[in-house]
Amino acid sequence: MNASKQPSGIDPQSDVGEPASGHTLGFGQRMRAYFFAGILIVAPISITFYLAWLFITFVDSKVTPLIPGPYNPNNYLPFAVPGLGLLILVLGLTLVGAVTAGFMGRVWVRLSERMLARMPVIRSVYAAVKQIFETVLADQSAAFREAVLVEYPRRGMWAIGFITGRTKGEVQNVTEDECINVFLPTTPNPTSGFLLFVPKPDIIPLSMSVEEAIKMVISGGILTPPDRRPVEERKVPVTAAKIYEQVDILREKGGVPVLVPKEARPGEIKKAITTGNPGGKKSSAKKKQSADGNSNKKKNHK
């Protein structure tokens, strides 16, 4: 094979910065390649350890001063023990959980909650925070256990969200469709976002894990997890913006009371694909056409 026909680029079998064509890089280009390779290796490890160190230092600064002087090892050692406050915090929370599991602990919790319930402002904050923690930390909780795809902020544009539960109360009662609570995080800070009440058929469940979805949101789409679905499911698209665009045109023109064709919403198509019946929509359409044909025949016969 001639050298002119060889593909350009870096040969994975060669040294770093050595092109496949055999032309060596200059000294400056080689140093630049080594520099970025060093950043790629050192930066993730350094940032991870730095964030962990900040968290441990913050906890130590708040917990360690609460230890009595005779029992504080930092008063006897020439250096501070890193992670001492974090260790005491974990042991303290475990001890509190063990104590409140008994009869006297439950009585003390009830008395404390009654006292907090009589305070005008604190009772609202306490009730909301307690309900959130009970929902998230429950063993059977479905909060943030599944990543989904929803159409937002308009038709034809998609965003990753996380299911936080089923819609209940007044919000569900005033809507005709069964809705699901979906938290839509922002990039690159996933702690802020929007709460959406999305009809269940319009939600597309994703096969990626919650951790992979969070990484994708934080990185702004740079880290994209692979599609691990079977090959048959990858070939069948679940949804398209054309369905809803045609419906919107109909509604705008004449107020036609048509929403979406039956079994044509994203969640229904996804369910048909996963259950092995991707032609469910077509079969239902054929049944409808046959039913209309039979009714027309009866009318003509009369």
Q: Where are the domains of the chain?
A: 147-228, 229-285
194: three-class secondary structure by DSSP: strand
Query: Would you say the pTM of this structure is higher than 0.75?
Result: no
Q: How confident is the model at residue 253 (pLDDT cuts 50, 70, 90)?
A: low
Share of the chain above pLDDT 90, in %: 14
Q: How confident is the model at residue 157 (pLDDT cuts 50, 70, 90)?
A: confident
Neighbour tally for 122: CB within 10 Å: 12
Q: What is the pLDDT of residue 229?
A: 85
Mean pLDDT, to the nearest integer, of 180-192? 89
CA 52: distance to chain centroid? 23
Tell whether the model's pLDDT for residue 220 goes beyond 80.
Answer: yes
| Most confident listed range (48-52, 124-128, 289-293) | 48-52
> Looking only at Cα atoms, what is the longest distance across the chain?
104
Phi, psi of 149 (to 5 degrees): -115, 130
Q: What is the pLDDT of residue 238?
A: 77
Instruction: Assign residue 166 a region (left: φ > 0; alpha: ψ between -120 and 50; beta: otherwise).
Output: beta
Neighbour tally for 267: CB within 10 Å: 19
Give me the residue label for tokens 């069948």: 236
Q: What is the pLDDT of residue 285?
A: 42
Q: How confident is the model at residue 147 (pLDDT cuts 50, 70, 90)?
A: very high
Instruction: Assign residue 151 a region (left: φ > 0; alpha: ψ between -120 and 50; beta: otherwise).
Output: beta
